[in-house]
Structure 1
């Protein structure tokens, strides 16, 4: 039944009136006065000259403008946000993975067991840094899935200034380290614009990656807005053992030390968001070895063990219910010995990755102590931006992008054969779904499902010595990720501005959590909260939760013709049912109806309409959103043009094309990469090896899953034209079909072959199109030890011609299929 919004709003008013103050939450954002008194404009107005101006300096009095200073005693602030960590993963919240850094913070601060995120990456991060509902700031979905509606277009508005903008305008230094998944896909290249990059959002400094995930061994890293190659200056063991997770900690420590040395009286705000433990699960072997045998009991037993620990630690109530395993997940005992061996090892790798990340976070926290800053630093550690990820399929994967993004197949025998390589640089691995479900203990469902706590409940710790006195305590008030920003402002004694750069600011949806620091029994100040993701909906109100029943898991095919009525609703009394284990929908239909109507009212109020019912519903928008390439069929690039993201590069997929390179071969002979896109896990490249032209195309990293064309003769010194022609077999609208490749030198055919299938949608999340060398991972292992394998001659230009036009195939995302 279709509902008109005005009717829905009216229908829900009685519930709001009787159980107020549900919607009075945004008004409490202003927490104190910072900077000049009673000034709510950022940047602050230019100071009035208070000196004297005479005819000369002899009869004048100077008055030099002074920089804005933070309020007296304002703390340093460190916000830590990890990735894809379920509530029941870390030992701090009863899980099996030791997290001593998180545990140490909890011991000197507070644990929160009712803190909630959005169920997916970009929305959580947008809500965190703006203090507004993710739909209000146009990020109800991840960047790659953006739609042409205000709640989903991925363009965070200027009326939603970030915590960094506010703090920097009030005398703070600001920095962001790690993951940024909040740049619209078409703005992620060197062409910008950069106003939605971290440095355009109030951060003085950014070191990290743009997108849903990155290779931890060979990452795509940006410093501010420029690509950098962190391994370029390393040699020997340092280069061989490089891992981004450790590098991020090094960079954050250096920035903190430098900031403190240069301006010891100036507070800082650091946002530390590592890629762990999102796939790929890349971690040093010695860390994997620490967990050998620790998951041999399987996911069913692990969940029971975690549940018992959570009760013993008091993390969950004694009457909490352990929700059952879904019927479409296999019981551990139903597996044979080889499956158990492989799957338990995949869990060991994930646990090692999370533990390694906790270790590196601990190094950052230790640096605060070394600098004498820890006593005046508020640390907010959110363990996960959503629940555990269900994107690993039922058997795990050695190439998450190919399997989830392109539908590539991996046999169990293949996965078992490369078991000991998983976690290393040769694979892009993820674990089986049931482990993620187990790491979400005691809740139902996983990441992507905003309807249930398995998708949105994350452990959180706050520590601020001397200000949080109930050290080691537990807080059970219901809160949401938007509440972090107002908490920070209250701690810093900084006023929420009414305008930033002349733009009137939206009110905060968040509520300061500082009231919880001194009163464990205080009633929750958050009364109502909307949840929504891909048709899966939830509404919290005054201790009750209504949730739609998800239709499928992430790895399952979606039903066609989904409508709002396709979803059933469940009802939970959270006063008595911590884990959503006892559905009261049939027993209390009137209460459920009120909650459902409240969801529609809150959706209208928070910009969440129209309802996005399915990830597949977003695919048509690929032809509507802005693009640097749509409508173009001819592209010309020059030597040294590198790090062009896939979203802003020509789409040589599902079409015929020709790639032509005009080369100069030096007297000593040619060697190096001419042009490449993607890398080890999927992509293509034109390379010169031992003087001979080579064309390579890879669907995955699996043996023989692609083609290689070798020119028989070395290129002679001088100018040459080397081209690759591809005749696509598929018709318009057919994806991933094969075709015929022809390699030519100076117009003459030198090699030809047929390929049975090609990549239909996406080569990589983080790898790029590069001219003249290869950034990231290699297309061919022949030159893996010589990366970036720069071409040693001249490249006048590389032309890419798309015979079918730039079809801009719909690209599935890798963070919430």
Structure 2
């Protein structure tokens, strides 16, 4: 009696916790303390089995057309979710899986922008201008690599607009060329230019989670002044606002919402409490965790029982061969990654809970996926510096260990080492960017109560990301318009898999080509051929491999020598598909894609003039100064007490800054491993300050500082950035977000208090 009263007197949340814990004990599961989000996920799961009477919420009837939600993670591998074999806590995504369908043979492109373009248009990425990441605009000579979606391939937002939908995009965009991500546009490739009614998020490939370069609609905005701000939480707050506003004001209208998290992409940043959830979990190392995930995947039916676990990737040491420092640091890096994913899942749970609370969950189709496999950008040691990783500059294990207490904070921008990336990609070999399954095979969960009766089932049909939007059109009874904004539309390339929602025996896709930066593959009817390309070599010299995925899903047995005729047939099929979908011409660029400045872009100018008050200009749209002579001229008028930043690009990781403090004029160039500095007495009165850089070799040069035409100092810079200077943009007359120099890190934006006329870049 007393125990019963104790339960009855608890809050609803506490009752659910007690109930869930008792249920776990009765079912033979080990007891654990359920988090509030896990309990909410269980509550929503139970409610999803009950028909919700929407008429009680508003005076309208259920919309004949479903709401559509796409949820996309970044760089999350095949095995990272609990419902796909992981020990990481993802109760809300697992709830969607338990009440929807898991697709265990779903594929994407091996990098992010092409996947997102294919998802939003229902077409193959080459044919619509997005063959590789949007950072790389290869110019008019490469129409398949312009970093934008051609207007002939209308997005789902543009199509649904004609069907009475409101459309919202939140989070990562990365579907417009970096050089167009300026405060003055052009805007035609931003989300609103592609059919969305509202946008809130970032335009580029990745972002700091605590101080993102935020855009709302068509404007850059300041980060909200909110205690414990986090980007993932912010975009879900905004998503919930959009949904609630529509449900309150226009409940008769359906909506499309694209929720694209920056997680799990580097930098991995999350509050400490989420990291602490996994304290000690990864001390056993990546070999054992990988084995555990592999075995659980078999138990769940995610992979066939005859699957073979791929061996450790080249360069990945067995855990027991690591030093104690390496084990300690690498375990903490994985704790941080796991905490980041649990935090992301919690935000997804908040979004689902809000859908349910406004009566829209039962009339909503949710499709969840990751844009590609897990990344090996952290290399052997892991990374604490976003820019170093992108510039192929080494980081030492000593640097990693020294910063172990800063993992997840705003003081580091971490990525786990390649050994943990392979764990994320269990049971496959290699990583993101490759043509192997590790790069292209990711989870896909479809939740749609009105069409799915076999809840919690697994579907093994071959599905490609380009098939998702055609499936939505099919289910909603929507025909692709012949024209959008007066532009004739090309046909959809994807194939609807709507039959699989109700029929486990329905056919899947039989053919899909792949190509990324010169790497190629083709899938057909259970077989897959992969061309191994060496950068700079003729494509006809590529060595091809052959795998029978129907029997060998982890690509462990190369059958090229055994079945040469089968391989020849697939090679011919790749050629056919490549011609059909404008895959040619190919390029084998990698990081050097950052160095290509198309002649028709704003960034091709030789002179740039910026004025005080200009909004932050993202680095990818800033003057391109890598490996070229250039000068920066700054006319000022100051009194002896005036100080502050004249210009700054970057943050504490890397960048350059020109500032005056304590009557000293200082230029600093931070490559990430070293800081090169010039200091001189600051001028008083009307003065012209000029900085010049003259290369002496590749990634080296001499920087000189002039005051009124007289040299005031110089420095030999023996390492400049190879590909990208920073992940934070250019400020004029101040340094927003994170400071480039620690000298003024306690000065806020450190606005220049004198008169600054302009900043002029001249490039040779």
Whether TM exceeds 0.5 here: the answer is: yes
Matched residue count? 703
**Aligned equivalents of 1:530, 1:740: Cα separation in 2:** 48
In structure 2, do the counterparts of structure 1 residues 780 and 722 end up closer, same or farther at CA, with 3 Å as the change threshold?
farther
Structural mapping, 1:98-109, within 5 Å? 98-109=89-100
Given that 2:62 and 2:363 are in contact with CA atoms closer than 8 Å, whether structure 1 keeps it comes out as no
Mapped contact 1:642–1:775 kept (Cα < 8 A) = no
Q: Once the two structures are superposed, what CA deviation does each residue of 1:327-357 show, in whole Å capped at 9, x if it has no partner?
A: 4322222211111111111111111111111
- Out of 392-401 and 734-743, give the one that drifted further: 734-743
For the pair 1:757 / 2:719, whether they are aligned, the reply is yes
Shift of 1:606: 1.1
User: Tell me, what secondary structure is at the counterpart of 1:255?
Assistant: helix
Inter-partner Cα distance in structure 1 for 2:621 and 2:636 = 25
Matched, 1:770 2:731: yes
User: How much has 1:567 moved relative to structure 2?
Assistant: 2.8
1:742 alignment partner, one of 681, 705, 708 = 705
Q: Structure 2 vs 1, CA of residues 514 and 673 (structure 1 numbering), >3 Å: closer, same or farther?
A: same
* CA pair 722-283 structure 1, distance change in 2 beyond 3 A: farther
In the TM superposition, 1:328-339 aligns within 5 A as 328-339=315-326
1:310 matches 2:293? no
Contact 2:649 2:726 in 1 (8 A): no
Asked if 1:349 is matched to 2:349, the reply is: no
Alpha carbons 2:613, 2:732 under 8 Å: kept: yes
What is the CA–CA distance in structure 2 between the aligned matches of 1:681 and 1:266, rounded to whole Å?
A: 46
**Does structure 1 residue 151 correspond to structure 2 residue 124?**
no
Aligned to 1:396: 382
Aligned to 1:676: 648
Distance 1:561 1:750 in 2: 44
- 1:454-513 CA distance string (max 9 Å, x none): 100010111112321111111111000011111111232222212112222111011122
Aligned residue number for residue 246 of structure 1: 233
**Unaligned 5+ residue runs, structure 2?**
1-59
Matches within 5 A, 1:110-509: 110-147=101-138, 148-231=141-224, 233-234=225-226, 238=227, 241-382=228-369, 384-405=370-391, 407-450=392-435, 452-509=436-493
What is the 5 A alignment of 1:42-53? Answer: none
Q: CA deviation at 1:798?
A: 1.9
| Alpha-carbon spacing, 1:618–1:465, altered in 2? closer, same or farther (3 Å) | same
Q: How many angstroms does 1:547 deviate by?
A: 2.1
For the 8 Å contact 1:739–1:757, the answer to whether it is kept is no
What is the match of residue 533 of structure 1?
A: 516
- Residues 686-695 or 194-203, more deviating: 686-695
1:516 is aligned to 500
SS class of match (2:657): strand
Q: Deviations over 1:193-213 (max 9, x none)?
A: 211110010000111111111
Name the structure 1 match of 2:12.
none
Moved more, 145-154 or 124-133: 145-154
TM-score normalised by the chain length of structure 1: 0.82
Superimposed CA distance per residue, residues 761-805 of structure 1 (whole angstroms, 9 cap, x where no aligned partner): 32123x111112223321123433443232334322222334xx1
Q: Check the 8 A contact 2:137/2:597 in 1, yes or no.
A: no
Q: Which has the higher contact order (CA 8 A, sep 6+)?
A: 1
Question: 2:757 corresponds to which residue?
Answer: 796
User: Structure 1 pair 99/625, CA: closer, same or farther in 2 (3 Å)?
Assistant: farther
Instruction: Give yes or no for contact 1:131–1:482 (8 Å, CA) kept in 2.
Output: yes
Asked if the contact 2:371–2:442 (Cα under 8 Å) also holds between the matched residues in 1, the reply is yes
Q: 1:588: Cα distance to partner?
A: 1.6
- The answer (yes or no) to whether the contact 1:85–1:277 under 8 Å persists in 2 is yes
Match of 2:687 in 1: 721
Change in CA separation of 1:727 and 1:275 when aligned onto 2, cut-off 3 Å: closer
3-state SS, counterpart of residue 347 of structure 1? helix
Q: Could you give the per-residue CA deviations for residues 348-406 of structure 1, whole angstroms, max 9, x where no partner exists? A: 11111111111111111111011111111111111x1001101111111111322332x
Question: For 1:265 and 1:89, how far apart are their aligned partners in 2?
Answer: 37
Q: 1: distance between equivalents of 2:447 and 2:267?
A: 30
- Distance (whole Å) between structure 1 residues aligned to residue 588 and residue 644 of structure 2: 47
Alpha carbons of 1:542 and 1:655: their partners in 2 closer, same or farther (altered >3 Å)?
A: closer
Matches within 5 A, 1:534-613: 534-548=517-531, 550=532, 561-613=536-588
1:563-611 per-residue CA deviation (whole Å, 9 max, x = no partner) reads: 2243322222233222223322222221121111111111111111123
Between the aligned partners of 1:638 and 1:507, the Cα distance in structure 2 is: 46
* TM-score in terms of structure 2 length: 0.88
For residue 215 of structure 1, report the CA deviation from its aligned partner: 1.1
Q: Secondary structure at the match of 1:87?
A: coil
Answering whether residue 600 of structure 2 is matched by residue 626 of structure 1, we say yes
Counterpart secondary structure, 1:136:
helix
Distance 1:647 1:326, change over 3 A: closer
Q: CA deviation at 1:623?
A: 4.8
Match of 1:312, SS state, is helix
How far has the Cα of 1:757 moved from its partner?
Answer: 2.9
**2:667 is the counterpart of 1:695:** yes
Taking a change above 3 Å as real, the CA distance of residues 753 and 499 of structure 1, as seen in their structure-2 partners, is closer
Offset at 1:85?
0.6
